[in-house]
């Protein structure tokens, strides 16, 4: 297995040049987060991930997790690494300074997250979930809840989880059956949740579970869901820990991948009721949880990019050493095709994912309300693209990594298989990619009549126009064709959705993939143009070649996706139920 070397130069280029980090650092509240400070932070993060975290990936995967009498045990190496992670201040990076955070831009934190995910994806889920709990409580928690929980979550002293899924309910949150009975100043919860990542472990003093449940008089369906804080250990108002709460892990899932991340079945109320505290108002749990979910969806999309990067590095290292037919396989055209596909998809995914978070920083901090609203529309539109497109390409790249290794990729010793095992779930959790596609067409495109999409297309068109008269004219024209395919797909959806109720669901995934490809192509062409503008030479020119490969070899997929959208829902829905 090869080591992992964070692609620091490429990350800095995307942040500083493609996404204009200096403009983000000039936003109110971010002025101290200069490009120089960001570069220093990223360099230190890269060093720790490469030297300390990445070497644990394969060993932790082999050791896995297990149930013991005192709860879930995780690989021993992760305990020291988590302590180092917290001591380095990494969980506090983008947190609110009022609660112990450093208040740095989310784009900077996102870049650190990519390196942590590449180094050890199982490990990365622990701080990721805590960040999501922080996001939800900061927006909807009471002042007392914020004062008690946020400093401990931000420091990493306590960790957090999301508790949504129940057996038999899956993604249907309207079917949630966990109960919450009022009891004085708190509630008593009973029920069971499944698929709870990092639901139990010994790395933190306490675990803060955010749990969806129903109160006795709640209306049916999603309108009757409330959100509760259920700590693993009870505590007083100062945070001093008391007895164990009535919540326990009863088993851990035996998964395809992410073996070092404990995915638990949690049981609430086996001994009378787990003490829980209402977040916000009753029956508002779904919108509260979506604040956490949207943050998680961007992070999960980044997982696709992070694993793609590491799988690419692994395959490239193998291709530089493996000889076949008297030559290194790196010289074989078909191997180069696979490696260039891996490289181009990883870099396109990074540009897409980072751009969404750059817009998020502007949406949070821009001084003008209209500008904030426009930026938020862009974040909302890009979120399903980031989650679904980036995790799909993560799976494709990890699979190609095995193919580059040949038979050696199919055995565990090389390490190539772990990346495919680990990333496979990213297309499933935090809302399957099919759900992301339905979110795109239903909540984004149809709800606003395509307004946000037209804004996006206009901005990308203007960006590509800057490259139309120079050395990159052919690349810009190719990216524009992909953009035109996506634009036509959106218009076909808007024109036909009212006539055929099956159309949105039938074409949603193809339309999402078309849009994701177009955005990534435009971003890579922008990067290529800026590389030439800056007078780059030598290895930096690889960006231009990578953009060319993407436009020539990957972007044409948009034409096929447009053809599928144009064909409508007929073939998808034609087979009678009793003919399957």
Per-residue tens of pLDDT for the chain, all 580 residues: 679 999 999 999 999 999 999 999 999 999 999 999 999 999 999 999 999 999 999 999 999 999 998 899 999 989 999 999 999 999 999 999 999 999 999 999 999 999 999 999 999 999 999 999 999 999 999 999 999 999 999 999 999 999 999 987 766 666 789 999 999 999 999 999 999 999 999 999 999 999 999 999 999 888 999 999 999 999 999 999 999 999 999 999 999 999 999 999 999 999 999 999 999 999 999 889 887 788 899 999 999 999 999 999 999 999 999 999 899 999 999 999 999 999 999 999 999 999 999 999 999 999 999 999 999 999 999 999 999 999 999 999 999 999 999 999 999 999 999 999 999 999 999 999 999 999 999 999 999 999 999 999 999 999 999 999 889 999 999 999 999 999 999 999 999 999 999 999 999 999 999 999 999 999 999 999 999 999 888 888 999 999 999 999 999 999 999 999 999 999 999 999 999 9
> What residues contact residue 410 under an 8 Å CB cut-off, 6+ apart?
402, 417
Residue at token pair 């750059």: 358
> What residues contact residue 147 under an 8 Å CB cut-off, 6+ apart?
99
**How far apart, in Å, are the Cα atoms of 283 and each of 278, 286, 514?**
10, 8, 37
**Token pair of 262, please?**
């404990």
The answer to whether the pTM exceeds 0.85 is yes
**HSE, side-chain direction, 13 A CA sphere, residue 334:** 6
Tell me which residues are annotated as active site: 430
- Distance spanning both ends of the chain, measured CA to CA: 44
Burial of 572 (0-12, 13-18, 19+ CB in 10 A): middle
Spatial distance between the Cα atoms of 408 and 65, rounded to a whole number of angstroms: 26
Spatial distance between the Cα atoms of 404 and 333, rounded to a whole number of angstroms: 12
CB atoms within 10 A of CB 287: 13
- Measured in whole angstroms, the distance separating CA 513 from the mean position of its chain's CA atoms is 16
Selection from 336, 315, 330 nearest residue 401 by Cα: 315
Three-state helix/strand/coil letters over 250-263: EEECCCCCCCCCCE
Taking the C-alpha atoms of 425, 94, 52 and 403 in order, what is their torsion angle to the nearest 10 degrees?
Answer: 30
> What residues contact residue 339 under an 8 Å CB cut-off, 6+ apart?
312, 315, 316, 319, 330, 404
Radius of gyration from C-alpha coordinates of the chain: 24
Spatial distance between the Cα atoms of 74 and 19, rounded to a whole number of angstroms: 38
Burial of 176 (0-12, 13-18, 19+ CB in 10 A): buried
């Amino acid at each position: 297995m090869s080591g992992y070397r964070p692609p620091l130069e490429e990350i800095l280029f995307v942040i500083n040049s493609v996404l204009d980090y200096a403009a983000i650092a000039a936003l109110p509240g971010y002025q101290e987060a200069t490009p120089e400070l960001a570069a220093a932070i990223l360099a230190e993060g890269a060093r720790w991930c490469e030297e300390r975290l990445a070497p644990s990936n394969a060993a932790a995967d082999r050791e896995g997790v297990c149930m013991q009498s005192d709860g879930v045990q995780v690989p021993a190496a992760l305990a020291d690494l988590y302590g180092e992670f917290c001591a380095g201040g990494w969980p506090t990076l983008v947190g609110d300074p009022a609660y112990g955070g450093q208040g740095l831009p989310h784009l900077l934190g996102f870049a650190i997250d990519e390196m942590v995910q590449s180094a050890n994806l199982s490990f990365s889920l622990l701080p990721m979930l805590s960040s999501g709990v922080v996001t939800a409580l900061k927006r909807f928690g009471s002042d007392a809840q914020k004062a008690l929980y946020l400093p401990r979550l931000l420091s990493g002293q306590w960790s957090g989880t999301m508790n949504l899924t129940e057996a038999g309910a899956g993604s249907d949150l309207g079917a949630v059956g966990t109960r919450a009975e009022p009891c004085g100043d708190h509630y008593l919860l009973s029920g069971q949740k499944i698929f709870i990542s990092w639901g139990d472990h010994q790395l933190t003093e306490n675990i803060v579970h955010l749990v969806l449940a129903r109160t006795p008089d709640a209306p049916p369906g999603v309108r009757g869901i409330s959100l509760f804080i259920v700590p693993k250990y009870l505590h007083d108002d100062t945070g001093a820990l008391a007895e164990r709460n009535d919540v326990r892990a009863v088993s851990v899932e035996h998964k395809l991948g992410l073996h070092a991340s404990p995915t638990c079945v949690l049981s609430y109320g086996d001994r009378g009721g787990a003490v829980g505290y209402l977040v916000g108002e009753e029956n508002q749990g779904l919108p509260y949880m979506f604040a956490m979910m949207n943050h998680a969806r961007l992070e999960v999309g980044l997982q696709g990019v992070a694993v793609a990067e590491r799988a690419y590095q692994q395959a490239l290292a193998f291709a530089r050493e493996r000889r076949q037919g008297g030559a290194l396989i790196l010289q074989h055209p078909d191997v180069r095709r696979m490696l260039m596909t891996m490289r181009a998809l990883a870099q396109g995914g990074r540009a897409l994912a980072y751009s969404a978070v750059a817009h998020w920083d502007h949406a949070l901090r821009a001084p003008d309300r209209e500008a904030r609203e426009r930026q938020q529309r862009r974040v909302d539109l890009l979120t399903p693209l980031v989650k679904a497109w980036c995790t799909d390409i993560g799976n494709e790249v990890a699979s190609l990594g095995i193919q580059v290794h040949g038979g050696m990729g199919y055995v565990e010793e090389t390490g190539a298989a772990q990346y495919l095992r680990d990333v496979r779930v990213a297309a499933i959790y935090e809302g399957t990619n099919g759900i992301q596609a339905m979110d795109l067409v239903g909540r984004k495109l149809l709800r606003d009549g395509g307004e946000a999409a037209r804004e996006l297309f206009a901005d990308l068109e203007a960006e590509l126009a800057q490259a139309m008269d120079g050395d990159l004219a052919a690349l810009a024209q190719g990216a524009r064709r992909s953009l035109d395919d996506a634009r036509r797909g959106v218009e076909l959806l808007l024109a036909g959705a009212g006539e055929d109720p099956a159309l949105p669901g039938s074409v949603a995934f193809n339309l999402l993939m078309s849009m994701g490809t177009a955005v990534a192509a435009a971003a890579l062409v922008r990067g290529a143009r800026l590389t030439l503008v800056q007078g780059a030479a030598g290895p930096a020119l690889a960006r231009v070649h990578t953009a060319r490969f993407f436009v020539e070899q990957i972007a044409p997929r948009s034409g096929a996706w447009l053809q599928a959208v144009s064909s409508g829902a007929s073939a998808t829905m034609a087979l009678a139920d009793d003919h399957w």
